[in-house]
């Protein structure tokens, strides 16, 4: 399953490292990552493959929510198919 991870919040050191570490710890492959900082606001989108993951999507969401709280950012993880359906124009 492919998952879209989004991170939004005030920029600070360690955001990408923290999210990437969670992926590595749970055998989740990062397929693509895009990030931008606009006027001090960090915004990142990451697509990952959970095919070999040692945690399910609900578990990943809980872990990322906890990490986001510690960093002061909002981190969300959604099934890519659901994310795509929610963001279709039309």
How much is the average pLDDT of 5-19? 97
Q: What is the pTM of this model?
A: 0.88
Domain extent listing, the chain: 2-76
Report the C-alpha gap between 68 and 75 in whole angstroms. Answer: 5
Residues 25-84 have pLDDT tens digits of 999 999 999 999 999 999 999 999 999 999 999 999 999 999 999 999 999 999 977 766
Indicate the SS3 state at residue 87: coil
Whole-number pLDDT of residue 82: 73
Confidence of residue 88 (pLDDT cuts 50, 70, 90): low
Domain covering 2-76 in this structure, CATH number: 3.30.70.260
Name the nearest CA neighbour of 8 among 30, 46, 48, 41.
41
């Amino acid at each position: 399953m492919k998952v879209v991870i989004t991170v939004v919040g005030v920029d600070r050191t360690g955001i990408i490292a923290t999210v990437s570490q969670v992926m590595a710890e749970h055998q989740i492959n990062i397929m693509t990552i895009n990030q931008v900082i606009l006027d001090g606001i960090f915004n990142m989108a990451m697509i990952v493959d959970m095919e070999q993951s040692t945690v399910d999507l609900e578990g990943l969401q809980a872990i990322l929510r906890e990490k986001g709280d510690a960093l002061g950012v909002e981190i969300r993880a959604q099934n890519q198919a659901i994310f795509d359906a929610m963001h279709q124009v039309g």
